[in-house]
Structure 1
């Protein structure tokens, strides 16, 4: 067959889109980030120095020498900051009583549970005992039909109910003087989730301030964050 001659404009090869504009935007974003983040670097370094291992150990020693239950609980909470813990909200099947998830994993409630356990108080057993006897008095948020020793004590609303029923539910204010070391606080985060931690003194020269130990995703940390979120519970519990 005789080939047909192509008549018309020559085919035009598609031009490759330049990525130059994209790189310009990336460079601009990085430059802008550097401008805004640079002033934060000294602050972050200062924060790291304040919560150094030396300051942690000094605070623990002072608290333990006090002998007061709240001080000893705060010391136990500060000890948690010396452990490397990855935030892990997975459900684990654990022993009962004195059961625990793997030591290198945990959430905010595990900071509270492990701190109390450092003073021979097993919240797993205590929460289970109270919840089993008063199941309907506890939040019905998880469609549970019976107590579960693996998870009940690791839920913030359940700890709130336990502390309010068996300890002291205190005023929720924004005044530091209303909080004592060893108090347990619950918050509502901006994403709607509940959160909890323990009140401790500030580091070094700031020891008169009220800081907290909590795990909000970076493992147990010592931070000046008591009023960073909406407080929804303030409790005192102990022997």
Structure 2
């Protein structure tokens, strides 16, 4: 069964199970705005697998990690396992001088998530066409000066008719009309290790 729902126009057709997964991811992202989170990019030792920084702290990547975790997908574990297998595939610049993966922080770095989503998910074209972005899509950015950022497209539209982004850019989880506010560096879908047919 293939879904050709209105919100999926302009992108490849999705199976019903993938459409449902992306719908649940977008819904989870919207719920994140009910949480108070202080922006804190500090290095924190966390358990593995299933580790998380304190619930009242986090950065943009923690929004993505927490949304996936609600759906039963542990990006800490998935990214770490892939980095153990293919460390050289990940950006040297973002290894911070490490000679091996670090399960405390690697999944919390946007460049690592970009590589992971390219390797294990779907890498979609980047464009300036709003119709190319659907709820549940992951969008990465360069905020300027090589400062990376990530957000999740949600099924809420701004005044201009574009889908909005749930992200944390320093003021906690928010839904904002920022899809094209910065240079887009990546556009992904990730369904988890089971990869939903």
Smaller-chain TM-score bracket: 0.7 to 0.9
The alignment status of 1:168 with 2:107, answered yes or no, reads no
What is the match of residue 104 of structure 1? 56
Q: 2:34 aligns with which of 49, 73, 82?
A: 82
What are the superposed Cα offsets for residues 192-228 of structure 1, whole Å, 9 maximum, x if unpaired?
A: 200001001225x969631000000000100000000
2:173 is aligned with 1:220: yes
Does residue 93 of the first structure (1) align with residue 45 of the second (2)? Answer: yes
Residue 25 of structure 2: aligned partner: 73
Q: Are the equivalent residues in 2 in contact too, given 1:201–1:207 (CA < 8 A)?
A: no
Gaps of 5+ in 2: 1-18
Aligned-pair CA distance for 1:132: 0.3
- The structure number with the bigger radius of gyration is 1
Q: Aligned partners of 1:133 and 1:171: how far apart in 2?
A: 27
2:12: which partner in 1? none
**1:58 matched to which residue of 2?**
none
Instruction: Name stretches of at least 5 consecutive residues in structure 1 with no aligned partner.
Output: 1-66
Within 5 Å, which residues of 2 pair with 1:1-239? Answer: 68-141=20-93, 142-202=96-156, 209-238=162-191, 239=196
TM-score after normalising by structure 2: 0.84
Compute the TM-score of the two structures, normalised by the length of structure 1.
Answer: 0.69
Task: Name the count of aligned residue pairs.
Answer: 172
Q: Secondary structure at the match of 1:202?
A: strand
Q: Secondary structure at the match of 2:170?
A: coil
User: Equivalent residue for 2:15?
Assistant: none
Question: RMSD of the alignment, in Å?
Answer: 1.5
Higher strand share: 2
